[in-house]
Structures are given as C-alpha cells and as structure tokens.
Amino acid sequence: MRHGGDLAAAEAAFGRPAKGWLDLSTGVNPHAYPLKPFSATALTRLPDPEHVKQLLVTARRAYGWKPDVPVVAGPGAQAMIQLLPYLRVRGSVLVIGPTYGEHAYLWARAGHQVREAWSLSHAEESQVVVLVNPDNPSGRTTEPDVLLKLAADLAKRDGLLVVDESFADVSVETSMAERVGPKGLVVLRSLGKFYGLAGLRLGFAAGDAEMISELSGELGPWPVSGPALEAGRAALADDAWAVSTRLQLTVEAMRLDAILTDAGFEQVRGCDLFRTVRHPAAGTLHRQLARAGVWCRAFDDRPDQLRFGLPPDDEGFERLKAELSSALKTAA
C-alpha cells in the first residue's frame, strides 16, 4: 500500500468485514473538528481572495507565525509537497527518513538527486533538506533550535530546509512556530491530521519569501475551496477545542500504547495521532487484521513495521485489542 485510507482497495482485496472496517490506516484524528453546515455561498461563489487573506491571518495566529512571515494556503500540505521540487534548481536533496514517502518520490521525480538518511549529520552536503517533525511513522522529534541553525546554514548558501509539520499540532514544543523567518526555511501545516479534516484538503506553507511567492503563483487564483475556507477559519480560531483535543488525544494514545505493549510489541513509537510498532511477521499480521476488518498501515519498503491510528471509540479499542490478540496467536 502506498498510502493509508484506501478502504475501497482494502475491501477489494479482503472483502467487506461483517462488522465494518475499523480504519486505523491513517494518522487522522477520529474526533474531527465539529463543523457547522457550510453556507450556500461557500459552494456556489468563487472563493474570495479577501477571505483567503483572513484565513491566513487566522493561520498565523494558530500556528504561532509572526504577522510578517509569508504564508500561502492550498488544497492540502500535499499540494505544497507536489510543487516545492519544481521551485528549486535541480540539485542534491537530503530527505531525513525513511518517512512520508511523497517527499523523496516527488523531489526525485522532478530531477533532483535524492538521498535518504536518518541523520542530519551530512546535511551540509545538500542544497535542500526535508524533514518531517514529528516524523511519520517513527514519531521522532527534532529540536526547533537544531532546525533553526540548520536553516540558517542552508540560507547562507541559498539552500532550503523544508519542515513538514503535519503532525506538530500534537507536539507543540516541536513546532518552529515563531522561529519561522522569511529566508531558507519552509514549514508545512495541514488541517488533515489534528483537525481530522482530511477530506477537506487544506494546508499551508510559511517561511521563505521567494518560495512562498512562487508557490502562490503556481497554486493560482482559487486553490482553496469555499468549504475549506469556511472550515479553516472556524477550526483554526478555536483555541479551546485545540487545547482539550490535545489532552484527549494524549490519553487515547496512552490507551493505544497499553494495548500494543500488552500484545507484546517491544518498540512502540509515534506521536499522539498514531503509534508505530515493529514485528518480524508484520506482513502476516497486517493481512490477519485486515481479514478481521482492522485496517492498519503497512509499508512496502519496511516490511517489519505497522502503524496504528487511534480507534474512534471504546468499541474500537476493544476490537483492536481482541483482533490483535488473535492475529498475534496465528502469526506466532
């Protein structure tokens, strides 16, 4: 599987489960931000550029970006990940990974020389460094101060640091936030994970003035839909929801930890939106779980890993626990 969330493909391979799918294949918050119905004009009118400006003001405040830092909105952080490789002269790119596969794939597709490594120690040999923070699926975090220094080093030689903060909402201290400046650094954020609005397609890029200006040009006049505009303005302004949801996700991630540890997994890593485990029979486990209607994330290039998103409710937690126990017995 190349990505999570592909239930129709799961159903084609494993049939429709009697109890329906328990989809844990993404790192999307199962308790999505509670949206009001969209206004009729959100669907019918061309998104107004003035409303986009207001969305960017709200995003700056929510993500801790300074008021003068360039920001652009688009249809998902993925849209930025698609475009960034074309905005740089072909050169050497270091992707800190293995990580979310689209980064290395798209930089290579655009003709860059891509190297994947787990350490930042050879960053100075690259013109572009890409890092997901917290990382997906490992959950590893990198200190903002380390990244700030790296960005400054890269900026000195016209390099670029890309920090994908798609999961940083549940790890606030990890975010570059107010450290984002207008040169050498691009930070990506998304409404898809923490806000649980993956279908909405809304993401942001902030930082390097030249890159943001070019991204804006490539995205064109109406990249953000009316529904995404309305939802984004409401969700990003709601600090109380964000605070209480962070607490809730922390508690639920601990509950997921307990289930995975009790099941016998030894290395349980991740962030509060998913946990990743290693198991020599991960492929067999993935199939066993799928046959029981539990759809987790397997990785073609890392056959010993599985990633589990948070179950949406008690029933989901209990079902995961039971099915994991059965699957592990069979795989043993």
Restricting to residues 177-196, which ones interact with its own copies according to CB under 8 A? 192, 196
Phi, psi of 188 (to 5 degrees): -110, 140
Burial classification of residue 21, based on how many CB atoms lie within 10 Å of its CB (0-12 exposed, 13-18 middle, 19 or more buried): middle
Stretch that binds its own copies, among 73-81, 114-122, 153-161, 178-186 (CB under 8 A): 73-81
CB of 197 to its own copies, least distance (A): 5
Q: Is 48 in the site for its own copies (CB under 8 A)?
A: yes
109-168: contacts with its own copies (CB under 8 A): 109
Q: Looking at residues 82 to 101 of the shown chain, list those that interact with its own copies (rule: CB under 8 A).
A: 82, 86
Nearer to its own copies, 46 or 332 (CB): 46
> Is there binding between residue 311 and its own copies (CB under 8 A)?
no
Q: How far apart are CA 95 and CA 180, in angstroms?
A: 20
Of 86 and 120, CB closest to its own copies: 86
**Separation of alpha carbons 73 and 235, rounded Å:** 15
Q: Which stretch binds its own copies (CB under 8 A): 41-49, 115-123, 290-298, 317-325?
A: 41-49
By the rule CB under 8 A, 13 interacts with its own copies: no
Q: Nearer Cβ to its own copies, position 58 or 141?
A: 58
Give the interface size with its own copies as a residue count (CB under 8 A). 58
| CA gap 7, 331 in Å, rounded | 23
Q: How far is the CB of 151 from its own copies (least distance, A)?
A: 25
Shortest Å, Cβ 195 to its own copies: 9
**DSSP letter string, 83-102:** HGGGGS-S-EEEEESS--TH
Q: How far is the CB of 30 from its own copies (least distance, A)?
A: 8
Q: Does 43 bind its own copies (CB under 8 A)?
A: yes
Q: Letter for the amino acid at 247?
A: L
Candidate residues 22, 28, 176, 271; the one interacting with its own copies per rule CB under 8 A: 28
Among 90, 125, 178, 199, binds its own copies (CB under 8 A): 199
Chain-centre distance for alpha carbon 300: 19
Site for its own copies in 208-227 (CB under 8 A): 217-227
3-class DSSP state of 220: coil
Query: Could you tell me the maximum CA-CA distance found in the chain, to the nearest angstrom?
Result: 59
Structure tokens at 129: 């460094």
Asked if 238 interacts with its own copies (CB under 8 A), we say no
Query: Which residue of 17, 58, 64, 75 would you call a contact of its own copies, by CB under 8 A?
Result: 75
> Which backbone phi and psi does 104 adopt, to 5 degrees?
-60, -40
**First-to-final CA distance of the chain:** 24
Dihedral angle sign, alpha carbons of residues 313, 288, 99, 256: positive
| Structure-block tokens of residue 232 | 């984004």
Is residue 301 within the footprint of its own copies (CB under 8 A)? no
Cis geometry, peptide bond prior to residue 70 (ω within 30 degrees of 0): no
Candidate residues 18, 36, 49, 119; the one interacting with its own copies per rule CB under 8 A: 49
Calpha distance 152→160 (Å, rounded) = 9
Binding residues for its own copies (CB under 8 A) = 2-9, 12, 23, 26, 28, 32, 35, 37-38, 40-51, 75-76, 78-79, 81-82, 86, 102, 106, 109, 192, 196-201, 217-228, 231
